[in-house]
């Protein structure tokens, strides 16, 4: 089994030294550079984003520069999404973003983790688990979402929160770690 196949399955894999994964991340980094350095809304910028995500752009998707992806093609956006400046998508595990999701500036979505013991960690191993975000969510500025998290529909994540556990539909969460503060009447 290749390291990419292991990554796709959510298994421990060599992310630091595997040539195939290094090449894919290098390609994504180059496309992020083109996107981030292009005139906003230009054909060059939209082409870079299309190539980065390896998909037709959904209706109403807005992504502001700078933005960073590890792979790009492992992140999928629904229609009507807005991604503010400075966001990072560590998408070794898939990141699925629903429709009409607003992502504030400097948010990070981190699908990867590393072994706790340094000998294994220094071997370049990591495990990437998916992040799933429902429809109609709003992320305040500087939100961190960790690996393996599912966020329900209609949620609001307060600025500065660190999401370490799944979030039910229509929850307003806040804090480090984030906890449910209230259920929103929709």
Residue in 87, 121, 108 with CA at minimum distance from that of residue 15:
121
Q: Are the beta carbons of 8 and 24 closer than 8 angstroms?
A: no
Distance CA 164, CA 152 (A): 14
Q: Nearest 10 degrees: CA dihedral of 8, 118, 106, 37?
A: -70
4, 25, 85, 114: the catalytic one is 114
Residue in 36, 152, 33 with CA at minimum distance from that of residue 83:
36
114 catalytic? Reply is yes
Residue in 115, 74, 117 with CA at minimum distance from that of residue 97:
74
Catalytic site positions: 114
């Amino acid at each position: 089994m290749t390291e990419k196949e292991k990554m796709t399955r959510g298994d421990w894999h060599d992310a630091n030294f595997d040539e195939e994964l290094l090449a894919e991340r290098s390609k994504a980094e180059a496309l992020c550079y083109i996107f981030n350095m292009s005139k906003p809304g230009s054909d060059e910028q939209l082409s870079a984003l299309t190539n980065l995500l390896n998909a037709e752009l959904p209706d109403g998707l807005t992504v502001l520069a700078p933005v960073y992806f590890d792979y790009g093609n492992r992140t999928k956006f629904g229609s009507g999404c807005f991604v503010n400046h400075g966001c990072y998508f560590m998408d070794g595990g898939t990141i699925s973003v629903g429709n009409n999701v607003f992502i504030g500036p400097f948010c990070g979505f981190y699908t990867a983790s590393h072994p706790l013991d340094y000998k294994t960690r220094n071997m370049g191993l990591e495990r990437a688990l998916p992040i799933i975000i429902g429809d109609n969510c709003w992320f305040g500025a500087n939100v961190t979402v960790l690996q393996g998290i599912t966020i329900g529909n209609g949620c609001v994540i307060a600025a500065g929160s660190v999401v370490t556990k799944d979030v039910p539909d229509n929850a307003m969460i806040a804090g480090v770690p984030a906890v449910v503060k209230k259920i929103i009447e929709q």
